[in-house]
Amino acid sequence: MTIKSITIHPKSLSLHNNMKTQAEVASSTTNSTPVNVKDPVRLAFLGGPRTGKTATILKLSCGTYRDTYYPLRKTTPVLFTYAPQTPELTLILDQHNSKQLLEHALARDDLLLSPVISEALLRASLKSLSAGSAHDIHLAPHGARNDVYATSRDGGSAAAEISPILAELIDTPAFNANQFIPFLEASLHARLGKDVLRKLADTPRQPVNTEPLLVASGAGEMNGAIDGYFLTYSAIPSVEPPNYDELNTQVSPTTSVESFDSYNSDGTLKTASFGASKNDTTFSLLPVIKAGLEEAWSEYYTYKTRWDQGKEKDIFSIKLALRTMFDGKSSFKVDVPQNKLLQTSMNPADPLCPPPIWIICTHKDLPLASPKLINDGKKLAQLWRCGFLAVDVAQDIDQVLALMIREVVERRSLQKARKRR
Paired sense of beta strands 357-362 and 387-390, if any: parallel
Q: Where are the extended beta strands (E) located within 68-136?
A: 76-82, 111-112
**Of the candidates 1, 162, 3, which has an alpha carbon nearest to the alpha carbon of residue 83?**
162
Q: What count of residues does the chain have?
A: 421
Distance CA 289, CA 53 (A): 15
Distance CA 184, CA 215 (A): 5
Residues 120-152: b if buried by 16+ CB within 10 A, e if exposed = bbeebbeebeeeeeeebbeebeebeebebbbbb
Type of residue numbered 140: A
Contacts of 307 (CB under 8 A, 6+ apart): none
Distance CA 42, CA 77 (A): 9
Type of residue numbered 198: R
Distance CA 162, CA 152 (A): 7
The predicted pLDDT at position 343 comes to 85
Is 376 within 8 Å of 238 (Cβ atoms)? no
Rg (CA), the chain: 23
Query: Domain limits of the chain?
Result: 1-13+25-191+209-311+347-421
User: Does domain 1-13+25-191+209-311+347-421 match CATH 3.50.50.60?
Assistant: no
Distance CA 203, CA 214 (A): 27
Question: pLDDT tens per residue, the chain (421 residues)?
Answer: 444 444 444 444 333 333 444 444 444 444 578 999 999 999 999 999 999 999 999 999 998 888 888 888 889 999 999 999 899 999 999 888 788 888 888 899 999 999 999 999 988 888 777 765 444 444 445 568 899 999 887 755 567 889 999 999 999 999 988 878 888 876 655 565 666 556 655 666 554 456 788 888 766 788 899 999 999 999 998 755 555 554 454 433 333 344 455 555 555 544 333 333 444 579 999 999 999 999 999 999 988 888 777 655 555 556 656 665 555 444 434 455 666 788 888 999 998 899 999 999 999 999 999 999 999 999 999 999 999 999 999 999 999 999 999 999 999 999 998 888 7
